[in-house]
Structure 1
Amino acid sequence: MTEQLLRLDNVGYAYRGKRSRDVLVGINMGFRAGTMYAVTGPSGSGKTTLLSLLAGLDDPTAGRVLHRGRDIRETGLLAYRRDTMSLVFQSYNLIDYLTVRENVLLGGPGDPDELLERVGIGAELRGRSVLKLSGGQQQRVAIARALAGTSEVILADEPTGNLDEETEASIIEVLKRCAHEDGTCVIVVTHSSRVCAAADEVVDLPKFNQVAN
């Protein structure tokens, strides 16, 4: 079996304040390169929190997030995010005053035209403002931007949540190719049955979460 690229080692996360609340408790799971994962669970089960911990955007209140066996806090969260991670958001997070091509250039050294071709964005659209694209086209640009870096891991938060069935299918295919052809670890938080059916492994988060109900 392929060595785990990322591992959550007894990870917990709690919101602290007047009403402290545990979101994740005792999470143990691993993720391998070349594999597409779908992370599922009802709203409020901690899926997006899990993704934020894997991305180094939040720090666990218990346990460790390991990259190649090393605590990402030892690496440094900024360096870890820069060198290891690409994020695809449901809201796209594109820069609205830049063109399609310019948005992809922000992602890293990859050839933007080659990447845009790969995700199905033709040459006639690449000089346009991203505001003139459909939602599905904007999501493709966001994925191309994620691919522009040299990341080992792509984390996607509900990347098909606002898309029609045809566009969803094309986005799923792009993510699968990232995993199977590029050897990337692709982790998708989703409610979509189609994404789950396409994934190599489905992680039902509540089964791993020891938080008291």
Structure 2
Amino acid sequence: MDNQILRLEDVSYAYRSKDPRYVLRDVRVEFRKGTMYAVTGPSGSGKTTLLSLLAGLDVPTSGKVLFRGTDIRETDLLAYRRNSTSLVFQSYNLIDYLTVRENVLLKGPCDPDELLNRVGIGSELWGRSVLKLSGGQQQRVAIARALAGTSEILLADEPTGNLDEETETSIIKILTCCAHKDGACVIVVTHSSRVCAAADEVIELSTINKAVS
């Protein structure tokens, strides 16, 4: 059975200006469900831009981002972002005036308690403001929020970048579980060698901005 869910066909992206500067050029790569990918490369090679394109938050200058074989520009992009993708940001992007449980519920109807237990956030923290949590705890809440709903694609931008080794290990286990147990397509932008070691596939964005695997 073909589990391919996303494919980039000759995708290039340039910032709009009089002299366009290409961040990505001629990227061709595919992603499957049940697989965890690590996307690496030097700073400025377009890793976060790639994630933004996969999330439907931006569109390519040229080329196509295909979701189940259809160009996402030919679909309802809002529905695609809402129903098919979830994002975990390096900066967490939690709502600071809401509690832990309320942040998880933002994604939609779900059982926030089950999700928080799953990522290792105990019930004594559920009613607290997220501002009172450590960085590692906030990242776990962000992942729990991303897991709420039925998204088939989990996109994470440096989810372990600011975490200690023990917390990084627990986050890696959660991400691999999402792929291998839940069958999600998990795509992680990272500089971490430990995340790369845990991934099923590593995709490098070279200094000439062409994807190689």
TM-score bucket (shorter structure): over 0.9
Q: How does 1:1-213 map to 2 (within 5 A)?
A: 2-206=2-206, 209-210=209-210
Using the size of structure 2 for normalisation, the TM-score is: 0.96
Structure 1 residues 41 and 67 mapped into 2: Cα distance closer, same or farther (>3 Å)? same
User: Which sections of structure 1, spanning at least 5 residues, go unmatched?
Assistant: none
Please give the alpha-carbon distance, in whole angstroms, between the structure 2 residues aligned to 1:208 and 1:106.
39
Partner-residue secondary structure (3-state), 2:50 = helix
Cα deviation, residue 108, structure 1: 2.0
SS at 1:144's partner residue?
A: helix
Q: 1:164 to 1:90 in 2, by over 3 A?
A: same
Distance apart, 1:208 and its partner CA: 8.5
Q: Deviations over 1:59-91 (max 9, x none)?
A: 101011000000101112111101100000000
Q: Give, in angstroms, the shift of residue 209 of structure 1.
A: 3.3
Cα gap change, 1:210 to 1:198, in 2 (>3 Å): closer
Q: What secondary structure does 1:182 align onto?
A: coil
1:109/1:149 contact within 8 Å kept: yes
Runs (4+) of structure 1 exceeding 6 A deviation are none
Length, aligned pairs only: 211
Please, what TM-score do these two structures have when normalized by structure 1? 0.96
**Aligned residues of 2:45 and 2:207 also touching (Cα < 8 A):** no
Distance in 1 between residues matched to 2:3 and 2:135, nearest whole Å: 36
CA distance in 2, matches of 1:3, 1:137: 32
Q: Is the CA contact (8 Å cut-off) linking 1:28 and 1:208 kept in structure 2?
A: no
Bigger Cα displacement from structure 2, 143-152 vs 201-210: 201-210
Distance of 1:65 and 1:208 partners within structure 2: 20
How far apart are the structure 1 equivalents of 2:137 and 2:20? 40
